[in-house]
Structure 1
Amino acid sequence: MKGSLKNYSGIIWLLSGIALGSIAGLAFGKKVEILKPVGDIFLNLLFTAVIPLVFFAIASAIANIKPSDKLSRMMGVTAIVFLGTVLVSATLTIIAVKIFPIHESLSSVQLTEKVEESPFAEQITKLFTTTEFYELLSRKSMLAMIIFSLIIGFATLRAGKAADQFAGFLHSGNEVFKGVFVLIMKLGPVGLGAYFAYQVGVFGPQLFGTYAKSLGLYYGFGAFYFIVLFSAYAFIAGGIQGIKRYWKNNLIPSATAVGTCSSIATIPANLEASKKMGIPEYIANVTIPLGATLHKDGSSISSIVKMAVVFALFGKSFNTADAIILALGMTVLVSIVEGGIPNGGYVGELLFISAYGLPIEALPPAMIIGTLVDPMATLLNATGDTVASMLVARFTEGKKWMQADHKSRYPETFLQNNSLP
């Protein structure tokens, strides 16, 4: 019990700061504008740290991969399964948002002037490229910087032993900037509290209805996805027997995910559950740790909900084909970039706000929604990894993968040589 409370302490402090800020905004009205600089300082620190954090996270992840010919087919299937399930969750959420349009009533609650729309071709060019190297360091060029990070990672991997020291530097940089992000988030209760006080004081209590509708949609659709879609994936992987095995062994990982609010912390429980599900160990030893950092159905769902709300608050349309296509692409990137740690979704929120060129005021609403949905998002992120591993086993090993004697076919020496470091 104490451990669970400790894991949720960050969320509790953030919600306490937001609650106090809301009370201050309701009590003092526009007088709380004096607190806005406090919130601005916090947001500026976040935007400053996110550029190096994302660069080191992506470049180091690729640079430190240990390739193996025996794992190449399985890795290819894993990539397809991860990408496919994230896109399915995002697409279904877009449909849910259209059925339950939480954003259409927000036109009268815009937090700033409308964001100007650019032609689709121009948006694509600006998203993927910059004309100068130094522009990669701007949050407005986040996607171009991510592409550059991928190139750096693959170039380091290709250089082999000659780049060992550089790969170590990328790994160290990733660890350092994760620590920087954690330190900045210590200021979250004060920074978000000040900003929320400003929003409520200036724009009124009607903002609460916005967040309530968002939460209702997320938790309702999240529960549907957890029960129905995960069962469907398990059925594809192993038929009725696959469904039975998945839910029989998914209780402990689910409780661990909700109790720790961390996909990373759920890895041991997922690995143990995967053995009982009959997933070959050489598959589970790769897909479970990899999924904790790269595969996040829950984050994909929350990204679409946050985009719909934030777009409406800033007068930007979320109903056009251009916006939907870009949103699907952004959910994939957010799933990859977000850390599998409590409140790791803030990195994803910084990413999509930067990539869309939204003003800095767009971050607090996205962060507040992200904080409130974090338990359900973690549940979907973490338990989605085991059912994804079942799908990988199905398409790597064949229809009868659950009946095979995997321990005799894949001895310990193989597992030790081919599991992720």
Structure 2
Amino acid sequence: MFALWNRIPLWQKVLAGFALGVLAGVVLGEKADYLKPLGDAFIRLIKMLVVPLVLFAIISSVTAMGGGDNLKRLGLKTIGLFLLTALIASLLGMAIGSLFNWDFGKQLLPGNFTPKHIPSVSQVFLDFLPANPIKAMTDGNILQLIVFAALVGIAINVVGEKAEPVRKFAVAGSEVMFQITRFVIQLTPIGVFGLMAWVVGAYGLAALLPLAKFVAAIYIACLIHIFVVYGGLVKLAGFSPLRFFKAVFPAQMVAFTTSSSYGTLPMSTKVVTENLHVSPKYSSFVLPLGATINMDGCGGIYPAISAIFIAHIYGITLDWTQYLMIALTATLASVGTAGVPGTAMVMLTVTLNAVGLPLEGIAFIAAIDRVLDMMRTATNVTGDMMVALVVGKSEQQVDMSRTQALPQNAQSA
């Protein structure tokens, strides 16, 4: 029985949990409230992951660019471009999310929910700085945690060999948290079942109708980001966007079907080195790093649109300071997102926490996460390959004569 269960893909299990939850909600009505603790337990486990996962992942990502001066310069350029596109992705996500008319009808505002007090602009920026890092961790203040973790990573690189045990601990801690994340993600079908049974039992099936619009919003934003933002940066670097997209098409298809940046690494490496003629030395650095920290789809577009979507579900009006917080957290959280399926849900929790939105809203979109993850991953991997080409050229890591002569049928590689 367990062997058969383990052979079923997670997204199919989550979809089954969603469908069974809806059915249970219809059949049980208000009595489905007894199933809500299943969802509440899942949300608690997700919240449990956020602080240690972000802490270790950010430290590991920052220390990954340690080394000689050339490597540091290359690393700073690479991460800088990753952060720039992540910021653009989050702003694009907010723009697309705000343009859609979600029209939910009856709102789902829980009786005990109080929107977070919004501080002044100066206070927002002061709140980036942790007066007490331990308190920031216990309070779940993710922005302060990200700042602290980045400073620790930079300090490890500066100290060098003496800090090697700390670096190894952070890397090991990151791997451990990724594994715990995989454990918790396996419980998603149960959590979704409990939350959806409660939602449908309390509010009816009408609450599920806007999901099609949500999928459309994610896909539209990702396609704009791929062709306009990435294509524009490729053109600014002096390359043909058409030839670039033809060259990287095989890796995009692998990313779309596997929904894994890490799983696409062999194909993206082949495409970048053989089709775009980026040096193997740089591609072996930028692509694994990108699979870890370049998450424009998962950490930029997805949490921005999701936060707006969930705010509408609960009838919560967002002001401009909350939009600013969404943009900042979506951008910074993308640095700590792992390139494995399921972690985007944890990073969405970071954004929802930052603006005080109910985490229960995750249940609405968890069931369709696989459909979303396909496009998110294709976006992430395309960004990795774009950065490899653009930054690689600036550091003489690209064979320009061969790349500019890229054949029009490069996608057959």
Contact between 1:262 and 1:341, CA under 8 Å: does it hold in 2?
Answer: yes
Pairwise CA distance, 1:67: 1.7
Contact between 1:47 and 1:139, CA under 8 Å: does it hold in 2?
Answer: no
Q: 1:378 maps to what in 2?
A: 377
Q: 2:10 maps to what in 1?
A: 10
Q: 2:294 maps to what in 1?
A: 295
Is residue 200 of structure 2 the alignment partner of residue 188 of structure 1?
Answer: no
Pairwise CA distance, 1:266: 1.1
Q: 1:403 maps to what in 2?
A: 401
Deviation per residue, 1:220-240 (Å, 9 max, x gap): 33334334444333322334x
Contact between 1:115 and 1:316, CA under 8 Å: does it hold in 2?
Answer: yes
Q: 1:40 to 1:87 in 2, by over 3 A?
A: same
The correspondence of residues 255-270 of structure 1 with structure 2, limited to 5 A, is 255-270=253-268
Q: 1:296 to 1:138 in 2, by over 3 A?
A: same
Bigger drift between 71-80 and 283-292 goes to: 71-80
Contact between 1:52 and 1:177, CA under 8 Å: does it hold in 2?
Answer: yes
Bigger drift between 193-202 and 125-134 goes to: 125-134
* Partner Cα distance (1:290, 1:322) in 2: 31
Letter in 1 for 2:321: D
Letter in 2 for 1:295: N
Letter in 2 for 1:54: V
TM-score normalized with structure 2 length: 0.86
Pairwise CA distance, 1:402: 2.0
Q: 1:283 maps to what in 2?
A: 282
Q: 1:88 to 1:134 in 2, by over 3 A?
A: closer
* Partner Cα distance (2:228, 2:131) in 1: 46
The correspondence of residues 154-303 of structure 1 with structure 2, limited to 5 A, is 154-239=154-239, 242-275=240-273, 276-299=275-298, 300-303=300-303
Contact between 1:140 and 1:357, CA under 8 Å: does it hold in 2?
Answer: no
Q: 1:28 maps to what in 2?
A: 28
Contiguous gaps of at least 5 residues in structure 2: 1-5, 405-413
Q: 1:341 to 1:139 in 2, by over 3 A?
A: farther
Q: 2:309 maps to what in 1?
A: 309
Q: 1:123 to 1:182 in 2, by over 3 A?
A: farther
Contact between 1:310 and 1:366, CA under 8 Å: does it hold in 2?
Answer: no
Pairwise CA distance, 1:369: 5.7
Q: 2:115 maps to what in 1?
A: 115
Letter in 2 for 1:271: T
SS at 1:153 equivalent: helix
Q: Aligned pair count?
A: 395
Pairwise CA distance, 1:126: 7.7
Pairwise CA distance, 1:99: 3.1
Bigger drift between 114-123 and 161-170 goes to: 114-123
Pairwise CA distance, 1:139: 5.2
Q: 2:66 maps to what in 1?
A: 66
SS at 1:309 equivalent: helix
Letter in 2 for 1:20: L
Contact between 1:51 and 1:139, CA under 8 Å: does it hold in 2?
Answer: no
Contact between 1:295 and 1:336, CA under 8 Å: does it hold in 2?
Answer: yes
Deviation per residue, 1:315-334 (Å, 9 max, x gap): 4333x332232222122122
Deviation per residue, 1:158-213 (Å, 9 max, x gap): 22222222222222211112111111222111111111111111122122122221
Contact between 1:107 and 1:315, CA under 8 Å: does it hold in 2?
Answer: no
Q: 1:139 to 1:347 in 2, by over 3 A?
A: farther
Contact between 2:143 and 2:329, CA under 8 Å: does it hold in 1?
Answer: no
Bigger drift between 79-88 and 189-198 goes to: 79-88
SS at 1:128 equivalent: coil
Q: 1:148 maps to what in 2?
A: 148
Contact between 2:107 and 2:315, CA under 8 Å: does it hold in 1?
Answer: no
Contact between 1:338 and 1:345, CA under 8 Å: does it hold in 2?
Answer: yes
Pairwise CA distance, 1:377: 0.5
Contact between 2:136 and 2:145, CA under 8 Å: does it hold in 1?
Answer: yes
Contact between 1:317 and 1:323, CA under 8 Å: does it hold in 2?
Answer: no
Q: 1:358 maps to what in 2?
A: 357
* Partner Cα distance (1:371, 1:126) in 2: 38
Letter in 2 for 1:247: F
* Partner Cα distance (2:8, 2:254) in 1: 13
Is residue 413 of structure 2 the alignment partner of residue 392 of structure 1?
Answer: no
Contact between 1:288 and 1:385, CA under 8 Å: does it hold in 2?
Answer: yes
Pairwise CA distance, 1:122: 7.5
Bigger drift between 18-27 and 149-158 goes to: 149-158
Contact between 2:133 and 2:148, CA under 8 Å: does it hold in 1?
Answer: no
Letter in 1 for 2:279: P
* Partner Cα distance (2:227, 2:154) in 1: 38
The correspondence of residues 118-133 of structure 1 with structure 2, limited to 5 A, is 118-121=118-121, 124=124, 127-130=127-130, 132-133=132-133
Is residue 125 of structure 2 the alignment partner of residue 90 of structure 1?
Answer: no
Letter in 2 for 1:146: I
Pairwise CA distance, 1:100: 2.5
Q: 1:129 to 1:196 in 2, by over 3 A?
A: farther
Letter in 2 for 1:252: P
* Partner Cα distance (2:344, 2:284) in 1: 25
Letter in 2 for 1:334: A
* Partner Cα distance (1:100, 1:358) in 2: 19
Q: 1:43 to 1:274 in 2, by over 3 A?
A: same
Q: 2:3 maps to what in 1?
A: none
Pairwise CA distance, 1:83: 2.0
Between the aligned residues of both structures, percent identity stands at 25
Q: 1:228 to 1:60 in 2, by over 3 A?
A: closer
Pairwise CA distance, 1:309: 0.8
Contact between 2:36 and 2:195, CA under 8 Å: does it hold in 1?
Answer: yes
